[in-house]
């Protein structure tokens, strides 16, 4: 205090004749008083209050000395305009108000530390500067025009209502003052909607921090929109939603939320995250990290979401979820809830992303989803409608086990986890996608409609798709027969599937790797319950105990390179018609009765392409095929080479080691089925028992390899479709 008085004495002695010298009082970085020296009559300090007397008839300026950080003087500079700044300084159970607009329609009343503002001034952008601390105070701000709020290290706790409430529908620009931390807290006795409540728009900026505790309901509530341009907002707790608005936008800044209901609730509107850092934790049952009835869009930033309550959701949209950029990490660990119906139950899952309509993932997105062991039946991405992946990196794992329940038809049903699940269609055009499911009955990618993978004529490198499953099947209901083979298991099972569609499944391009490592059957690699078509791509599909590739009604291969292997079943299996028109297909089944290519004696028409099928048996190409084939009773693990009459090799192949034993009474020998455009009617020599060196190897199929040694035999390909070589 003495230093301030001495400074003022020196100033008035030295500069009293400088016409444009100004005196400025600062509270923090904010100017709270700004006058020409020639208009200042005197400055007094009494009872810890500074009093400035003006000589031009202005009202006295009074301010607590404790709130003055510095007094400076300016000459020839444009000073800050304080004519529209109202200062509200909380000090325990009292409050100091500096109101330069008292005579212009801004009426402010105080009771203890409770402040009520009634502004009918018609003046836009009045600024209310808040500072100080109170544990039993509030601000109710009624304004007829848009306003600015500056939170400058203010701390307001109101046990009986909102800390800050703006009841009228006006736009509110909230500035979080630089290098300050402010806090707003309501109490359990509050009947208001939030710790910070506004009937109008809320626009946040600045580089300070705002801590919010919504003990009664929401943290921040707007009856219009909430928009964050910058700053840090920490909602440390919210009995309901962290942020609740008609719609929400975030352009930058940091947002940390812990909430019981929704972290961000966009209500009937949309949610849009353009940039910034968002961390949301929703631990309660049925909680949502972000939810809205319209479109939920993320195009940038770093998003970290944790949902641990039963049937909780990370991103939940009533219309669509669009991810076009950003680093998005979601952990979902909540359990499945069986909701009771009139008859039976309906399961509700804890999912990382859930849309009642569509989900779209575009290039630039880096999405990581982890559904933990405790998330039984949970989904990584779930949509009632179309799921489209156009690029980016997607990495999803699920670990929870499946289970049985009684459905609405009063019959035993089942549910299981899935990385990507659609009740409609799925289109995967591009991107780097990894799906892994380790829980019992778990699925990688599954849809009730059609599934399309890759784009026609696109580079395979545009899409890298890797899917693994390791969970075992589980029994849903017991059967009435003896099973197959005789003495085997019977009944209905929930089977793990890597890639499955109930409708047509089409593969156009991509590098597709599928691995199923079950110890019991049921874990098929790629399955269509209708038609499966392979037009292109590089496919490497392996299943330990079931079919690597299976189609229920029709399988067509028009191009691409396909490797399908099963150590316990067929390599490629179709329960209906099979058509090979192009491409390179290597299929390795296990011992008899399993086959490399199996179509249950239905139409097996070959019109082009190269296929090498090995197993304990094979289906035979049928009439109507325009390309010749040979069936060779081979030795498991042998290296062979077939030469035409010009001594040109047309097949150089390292045969796989036959695995599995088939059912009792089945064979142990290997049957190889081979066809290629180069296989024409004429004489051939088959060498076996030698070695292969050099060249390019695709799962035993060599291009430009050199064959050495071994024994040989001759055979002739006749006009028949299939020639048997003993």
Residue 43 confidence (pLDDT):
80
CA pair distance 685, 711, nearest whole angstrom: 10
Q: Name the residue with tokens 């099928």.
A: 613
Tens digit of pLDDT for each residue in 516-574?
999 999 999 999 999 999 999 999 999 999 999 999 999 999 999 999 999 999 999 99
Segment 60-63 long-range contacts (CB within 8 Å, at least 24 positions apart):
61/33, 61/98, 62/98, 63/25, 63/27, 63/32, 63/33, 63/87, 63/96, 63/98
CA pair distance 673, 65, nearest whole angstrom: 96
Token pair, residue 308, equals: 């641990």
Q: Where are the domains of the chain?
A: 2-74, 629-725
Q: Name the residue with tokens 């909602």.
A: 235
Q: Rounded to whole angstroms, what are the CA distances from 621 to 262, 419, 585? A: 59, 37, 15
Q: Which of 98, 116, 104 is closest to 61 using CA atoms? A: 98
Question: How would you list the strands of the sheet with 40-46, edge to edge?
Answer: 40-46, 49-54, 61-64
Q: How many angstroms separate the most distant Cα atoms in the chain?
A: 122
Sign of the C-alpha dihedral, residues 454, 455, 456, 457? negative
Q: Per-10-residue mean pLDDT for the chain, 726 residues long? A: 41 41 69 74 70 61 65 63 87 96 96 98 94 98 96 98 97 95 97 97 96 98 97 98 98 97 98 98 97 98 98 98 98 96 95 98 98 96 98 98 95 96 98 98 98 98 98 87 47 94 98 97 96 98 97 98 97 98 98 95 96 97 96 96 97 94 60 97 97 98 97 94 93
Q: What angle do CA 544, 549, 553 make, to 5 degrees?
A: 140
Q: Rounded to whole angstroms, what are the CA distances from 444 to 110, 279, 323, 347? A: 62, 27, 20, 19
Q: Which residues have CB under 8 Å from 2's CB, separation 6+? A: none
Residue 482 confidence (pLDDT):
44
Pair type for strands 49-54 and 61-64: antiparallel
CA pair distance 190, 186, nearest whole angstrom: 7
Q: How far is CA 92 from the centre of its chain?
A: 45
Q: Which of 178, 157, 153, 158 is closest to 89 using CA atoms? A: 153
Token pair, residue 382, equals: 């779930």
Q: Residue 2: which H helix or E strand, with range?
A: helix 2-15
Q: How far is CA 602 from the centre of its chain?
A: 43
Tens digit of pLDDT for each residue in 335-391?
999 999 999 999 999 999 999 999 999 999 999 999 999 999 999 999 999 999 999
Q: Specify the 3-state DSSP secondary structure of 527.
A: strand
Residue 36 confidence (pLDDT):
77
Residue 123's CB is within 10 A of a number of other CB atoms, namely 18
CB 73 within 8 A of CB 23: yes
Write out the DSSP string of 77-101: SPPP--TTEEEEEEETTEEEEE-TT
Q: Name the residue with tokens 């004495």.
A: 9
Pair type for strands 561-566 and 538-543: parallel
CA pair distance 217, 197, nearest whole angstrom: 11
What number of residues does the chain have? 726
CB 410 within 8 A of CB 344: yes
Residue 331 confidence (pLDDT):
98
Token pair, residue 289, equals: 């990290």
Token pair, residue 712, equals: 């040989």
CA pair distance 252, 415, nearest whole angstrom: 40
Classify residue 146 by burial, with Cβ atoms within 10 Å: 0-12, 13-18, 19+: middle
Predicted model pTM: 0.89
Write out the DSSP string of 697-721: EETTEEES-EEE--EEEEEEE-SSS
Residue 5 confidence (pLDDT):
42
């Amino acid at each position: 205090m003495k230093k301030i008085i001495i400074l003022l004495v020196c100033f008035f002695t030295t500069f009293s004749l400088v016409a444009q010298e100004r005196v400025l009082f600062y509270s923090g970085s904010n100017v709270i008083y700004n006058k020409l020296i020639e208009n200042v009559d005197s400055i007094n300090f009494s009872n810890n209050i500074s009093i400035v007397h003006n000589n031009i008839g202005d009202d006295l300026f009074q301010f607590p000395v404790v709130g003055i950080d510095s007094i400076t003087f300016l000459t020839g500079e444009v000073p800050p305009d304080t004519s529209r700044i109202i200062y509200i300084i909380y000090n325990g159970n009292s409050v100091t108000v500096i109101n330069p607009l008292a005579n212009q329609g801004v009426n402010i009343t105080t009771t203890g530390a409770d402040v009520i503002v009634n502004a009918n001034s018609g003046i836009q952008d009045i600024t209310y500067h808040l500072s100080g601390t109170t544990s039993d105070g509030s601000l109710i701000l009624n304004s007829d025009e848009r306003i600015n709020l500056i939170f400058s290290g203010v701390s307001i706790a109101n046990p009986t209502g909102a800390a800050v409430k703006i009841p009228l529908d006006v736009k509110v620009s909230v500035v979080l003052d630089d290098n300050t931390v402010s806090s707003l807290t309501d109490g359990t006795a509050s009947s208001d909607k939030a710790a910070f409540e506004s009937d109008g728009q809320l626009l946040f900026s600045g580089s300070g921090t705002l801590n919010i505790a919504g003990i009664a309901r929401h943290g921040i509530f707007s009856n219009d929109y909430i928009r964050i341009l910058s700053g840090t907002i920490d909602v440390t707790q919210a009995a309901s939603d962290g942020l609740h608005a008609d719609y929400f936008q975030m352009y930058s800044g940091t947002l940390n939320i812990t909430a019981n209901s929704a972290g961000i609730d966009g209500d009937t509107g949309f949610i849009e995250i353009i940039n910034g850092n968002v961390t949301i934790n929703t631990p309660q049952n049925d909680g949502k990290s972000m939810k809205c009835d319209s479109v939920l869009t993320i195009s940038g930033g770093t998003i970290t979401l944790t949902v641990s309550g039963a049937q909780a959701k990370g991103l939940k949209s009533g219309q669509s979820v669009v991810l076009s950029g950003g680093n998005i990490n979601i952990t979902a660990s909540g359990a499945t809830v069986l909701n009771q119906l009139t008859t039976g139950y309906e399961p509700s899952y804890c999912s990382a992303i859930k849309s009642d309509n569509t989900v779209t993932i575009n290039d630039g997105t880096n999405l990581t989803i982890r559904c933990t062991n405790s998330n039984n039946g949970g989904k990584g991405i779930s949509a009632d409608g179309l799921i489209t992946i156009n690029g980016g990196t997607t990495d999803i794992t699920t670990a929870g086990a499946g289970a049985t329940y009684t459905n609405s038809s009063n019959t035993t049903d089942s549910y299981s986890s899935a990385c990507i699940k659609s009740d409609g269609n799925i289109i995967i055009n591009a991107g780097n996608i990894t799906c892994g499911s380790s829980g019992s009955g778990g699925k990688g990618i599954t849809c009730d409609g059609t599934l399309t993978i890759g784009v026609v004529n696109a580079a395979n490198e545009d899409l890298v798709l890797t899917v693994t499953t390791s969970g075992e099947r589980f029994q849903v209901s017991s059967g009435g027969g003896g099973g197959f083979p005789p003495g085997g298991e019977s009944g209905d099972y929930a089977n793990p599937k890597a890639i499955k569609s109930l409708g047509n499944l089409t593969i156009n391009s991509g590098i597709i790797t599928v691995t199923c490592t079950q110890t019991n059957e049921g874990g098929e690699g790629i399955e269509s319950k209708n038609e499966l078509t392979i037009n292109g791509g590089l496919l490497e599909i392996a299943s330990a105990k079931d079919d690597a590739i299976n189609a229920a009604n029709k399988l067509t291969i028009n191009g691409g390179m396909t490797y399908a292997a099963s150590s316990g079943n067929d390599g490629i299996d179709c329960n209906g018609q099979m058509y090979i028109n192009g491409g390179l297909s290597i299929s390795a089944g296990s011992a008899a009765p399993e086959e490399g290519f199996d179509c249950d004696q239905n139409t097996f028409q070959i019109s082009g392409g190269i296929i090498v099928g090995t197993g304990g048996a094979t289906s035979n190409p049928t009439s109507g095929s325009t390309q010749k084939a040979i069936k060779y009773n081979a030795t498991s693990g042998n290296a062979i080479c077939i030469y035409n009459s010009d001594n040109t090799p047309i097949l150089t192949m390292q045969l796989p080691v036959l695995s599995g034993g088939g059912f009792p009474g089945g064979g142990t020998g290997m049957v190889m089925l081979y066809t290629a455009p180069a296989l024409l009617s004429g004489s051939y020599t088959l060498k076996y028992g030698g070695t292969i060196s050099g060249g390019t190897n695709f799962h035993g199929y060599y291009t430009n390899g050199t064959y050495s040694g071994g024994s040989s035999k001759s055979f002739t390909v006749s006009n028949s479709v299939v020639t048997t070589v003993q």
